Amino acid sequence: MLPLDELYQEVILDHYKNPKNQGTIENPDYKGHGVNPLCGDDVEIWIKLENGKIKSLKSIGKGCAVSQASLSMMGEALQGKSIEEARQAVEKFKKGMLEGGELHFEEYPDLEALEGVKKFPVRIKCAVLPWNTFLEALESHPSA
Amino acid sequence: MMTDIHSGNIPAASDIPETSRVPASDGAKIFKKTRDDFPILKRKIYGKPLIYLDNAATSQKPFSVIQAIQTYYENSNANIHRGVHHLAEEATSAYEAVRKKTAAFIHAKDHHSILFTRNCTEAINLAAFSWGRKFLKPGDEILLTEMEHHSNLIPWHFLKNEKGIELKFIPFNEEGILNLSKLPELLSSRTKLVSLTHISNSLGTINPIKQIIEAAHEKGALVLIDGAQSVPHLPVDVQDLNCDFLAFSSHKMLGPTGVGILYGKLELLEAMDPFMGGGEMIREVWLDHSTYSKPPWKYEAGTPNIADTIGFGAALDYLNQTGMKEIQKQEEELTRFALQRFSAEKEIKVYGPQNFKIHAGIISFNLEGIHPHDVGTILDQEGIAIRAGHHCTQPLMRKLGVSGTARASFYFYNTKEEVELLLQSIQKVFQIFHHAAAR
Ligand SMILES: Cc1ncc(COP(=O)(O)O)c(C=O)c1O
């Protein structure tokens, strides 16, 4: 496959055009806001827990196909996980993007489509932004 | 083979392209020569010929500029203004000759009006620091526009916080044209400075600065022109404009990075406080106080960027040989063509004035439903270098209601063929994205 075709795979363009889990949550347990000041990618997420697991992760984002597809997929991948499991998944994803690890997730295979991003070093930060925003959200205490 | 200045692999003088050698009548041949003068334009990117359309960010450099820097280091390197030896004198006079050349280039009366800085940003900061801190009082106003580059915004934010001055802004309309009917209410006796860009780096708008300078002077306000995007592309005459300051950067006009220029009227430069303290800028120093030298040296503390200033001199030579009027004419034709071709495409939104007479060679655009970053990545794979993002004008982007734009910006070495290839490659962007939409 040509690098461009790998980058803009159908899965990615589908998530970009029809993002999952759009919206906000009132009284979230965590929320986060991440921006990439250089390119203007902008990601906001809200997290609601139930019985220690992520019941719902909603988001609103603006930006390129890579950042927005990554955001949409992240929501799908992390829902249902405990905070600790989610944290591990985020670390695995970041390792995959930044340190050449695999992007193979049994629970959400779509993520593998982001492998193509690695051939475009300047775009890696787009893919990672939502995941960093998730980690930042865990540090927040909106209800406190 | 690429010329590598680090390899010591210098072509013989006869191999060095020289535009002036070509008979002026033969347009096409001159053009071929012009392209040949720029080693980097022969580069291939992913196996495709480089199409460099990011000149508003920085221009490419002709061989003569690259060679001037190398020749300086090989033959004349010494510190300036301090040595009695031959090399020091040679370096000093080469450096000071560029000051004179710069003065002539912008038609300044006196070369002592030319200060060298690191870049246009530092030139504006120098004016804000040395003039603003000395002369502004709480309640004074500075008038800017809504289309300023961050470098003509943040220095004034600093002064606002420090001095309690107020900032006002000339708005622009849907076409990106300044609304001058607001000028009478925005300008008052409280206005101490109007600081604005000659050409918008995000919209391409050529502002009617002469008219604004006159209106400002009537109210007793000074005017600083950010010439970063204009001085490289059209003749600028500071005496005709009667601006009080003009700031610009060498690297956007064929010269090296690391050299900026602030022109200021001499009486202002004499009245203002120094910018930085240190060597070169002093007259006499005691342990606990000092007196300063005259402009321009008063503003040039420490060893300046000698080599790159000399490189900038070669850039000025190149521009003079080509002729700024000629450059303006060529770019106007290219812009007219590009605006026409771009506006014919329904799915491309082009920002800035529709009239090419007030639209410089900067085409800012968006493709329906596609983020500029994705446009930039796909075009890059075709060897086309454009910029994507907010172009250091976040308030302007906010007003346009977008997070950024894709921007193709020209210099005189660009061609209509390159514009055509850009449009063809834009069709590829549509194919990639619409293919998914169609399913
Ligand atoms: C209108 C305008 N002003 C100022 C600047 C700042 O120039 P520099 O980055 O060389 O200081 C730029 C370039 O980016 C510009 O386009």
Q: If you search the block for the tokens 């061609």, which residue do you land on?
A: B415
Contacts of B234 (CB under 8 A, 6+ apart): B324, B327, B328, B360
Residue B287 belongs to domain spanning: 65-321
Beta-sheet strand order (sheet of A53-62): A30-36, A41-50, A53-62
Reduced to 3 states (helix: H, G, I; strand: E, B; else coil), residue B409 is: strand
Out of B381, B389, B432, name the one closest to residue A3 (CB): B381
- At residue B15, does pLDDT exceed 50? no
> Does residue B313 share a domain with residue B333?
no
> Does residue B171 share a domain with residue B106?
yes
Express as a percent the part of chain B with pLDDT over 90.
88
Q: Please indicate, yes or no, if residue B276 is contained in any of the structural domains.
A: yes
> Does residue B119 share a domain with residue B40?
no
CB neighbours (10 Å) of residue B41?
17
> Does residue B96 share a domain with residue B223?
yes
Is the minimum CB–CB distance between A64 and chain B shorter than 8 Å? yes
Out of B374, B390, B435, name the one closest to residue A64 (CB): B374
Are A126 and A117 in contact by the 8 Å Cβ rule? The answer is yes
Is the minimum CB–CB distance between B378 and chain A shorter than 8 Å? yes
Q: Please indicate, yes or no, if residue B278 is contained in any of the structural domains.
A: yes
Q: Please indicate, yes or no, if residue B60 is contained in any of the structural domains.
A: no
The 10s digit of each residue's pLDDT in A78-122 is 999 999 999 999 999 999 999 988 899 999 999 999 999 999 999
What sign for the dihedral angle of Cα B253, B256, B258, B260? negative
* B164 Rama class: left (phi>0) / alpha (psi -120 to 50) / beta: left
The 10s digit of each residue's pLDDT in B72-102 is 999 999 999 877 899 999 999 999 999 999 9
For A5-22, b/e burial (b = at least 16 CB within 10 A) is ebbbbebbbbbbbebbbe
B384 close to ligand 1 (CB < 6 Angstrom): no
CB neighbours (10 Å) of residue A131?
23
> Does residue B123 share a domain with residue B77?
yes
The 10s digit of each residue's pLDDT in B224-260 is 999 999 999 999 999 999 999 999 999 999 999 999 9
Amino acid occupying residue A101:
G
Nearest chain A CA: its distance from B431 CA (Å): 11
> Does residue B163 share a domain with residue B306?
yes
Chain B, residues 80-99, CB within 8 A of chain A, namely: none
Mutate to test the pocket of ligand 1, among B392, B405, B407, B411 (most ligand atoms within 8 A of CB): B392
Contact yes or no for A17 and B437 at CB 8 A = yes
Answer CATH for A4-140 from 3.40.1160.10, 3.40.640.10, 3.40.50.11540, 3.90.1010.10: 3.90.1010.10
Q: Please indicate, yes or no, if residue B46 is contained in any of the structural domains.
A: yes
pLDDT of res. B17: 40
> Does residue B120 share a domain with residue B69?
yes
B151 close to ligand 1 (CB < 6 Angstrom): yes
pLDDT of res. A143: 54
pLDDT bucket at B28, cuts 50 / 70 / 90 = low
B34 close to ligand 1 (CB < 6 Angstrom): no
- Residue closest to B315 by CA, chosen among B262, B254, B258, B257: B254
Amino acid occupying residue B68:
A
Q: How is B207-247 classified by DSSP, letter by letter?
A: --HHHHHHHHHHTT-EEEEE-TTTTTTS---HHHHT-SEEE
> Does residue B168 share a domain with residue B42?
no
Is the minimum CB–CB distance between B432 and chain A shorter than 8 Å? yes
Is the minimum CB–CB distance between A38 and chain B shorter than 8 Å? yes
- At residue A70, does pLDDT exceed 90? yes
Chain centroid, CA B357 distance in Å: 19
Helices (H) and strands (E) in chain B, counts: 15, 17
Q: List residues of B with catalytic annotation.
A: 392
Q: What is the CATH number of the domain that holds B384?
A: 3.90.1150.10
Is the minimum CB–CB distance between A65 and chain B shorter than 8 Å? yes
Reduced to 3 states (helix: H, G, I; strand: E, B; else coil), residue A46 is: strand
Task: Tell which of B321, B351, B375 closes a domain.
Answer: B321
- State how far the Cα of B282 lies from the Cα of A143, in Å rounded to an integer: 59
Nearest chain A CA: its distance from B255 CA (Å): 26
pLDDT of res. B27: 61
Task: Tell which of B279, B298, B321 closes a domain.
Answer: B321
> Does residue B298 share a domain with residue B157?
yes
Q: Which residues pair with B248 in a beta bridge?
A: B261
Q: What is the CATH number of the domain that holds B224?
A: 3.40.640.10
Say how many Å lie between the CA of residue B151 and the centre of ligand 1: 7
- At residue A77, does pLDDT exceed 80? yes
- State how far the Cα of B266 lies from the Cα of B317, in Å rounded to an integer: 25
CB neighbours (10 Å) of residue B340?
12
> Does residue B370 share a domain with residue B298?
no
Task: Report ipTM for this prediction.
Answer: 0.90
- At residue B206, does pLDDT exceed 70? yes
B121 close to ligand 1 (CB < 6 Angstrom): yes
> Considering chain A, what is the average pLDDT of its residues?
93
Q: What residues of A are in contact with residue B435 (Cβ under 8 Å)?
A: 13
Is the minimum CB–CB distance between B389 and chain A shorter than 8 Å? yes
> Does residue B305 share a domain with residue B347?
no
Q: What residues of A are in contact with residue B397 (Cβ under 8 Å)?
A: 40
> Does residue B176 share a domain with residue B208?
yes
Task: Tell which of B290, B306, B321 closes a domain.
Answer: B321
Helices (H), chain A: 3-7, 10-17, 65-78, 83-98, 124-138
The token duo for B129 is: 């620091």
Count of structural domains within chain B:
2
Is the minimum CB–CB distance between A129 and chain B shorter than 8 Å? no
The 10s digit of each residue's pLDDT in B329-349 is 999 999 999 999 999 999 999
Helices (H), B262-371: 266-271, 306-322, 324-343
B101 close to ligand 1 (CB < 6 Angstrom): no
pLDDT of res. A39: 75
Contact yes or no for B432 and A8 at CB 8 A = yes
Tell me which chain B residue has its CA closest to the CA of residue A41.
B403
pLDDT of res. B267: 98
- pTM, two decimals, is 0.90
Atom of ligand 1 nearest to the CA of B148: 1
Beta-sheet strand order (sheet of B260-264): B114-117, B260-264, B245-249, B222-226, B191-197, B141-145, B166-170
Nearest chain A CA: its distance from B170 CA (Å): 25
Domain residue ranges of chain A, discontinuous segments joined by +: 4-140
Q: If you search the block for the tokens 């006869």, which residue do you land on?
A: B14
Tell me which chain B residue has its CA closest to the CA of residue A38.
B389
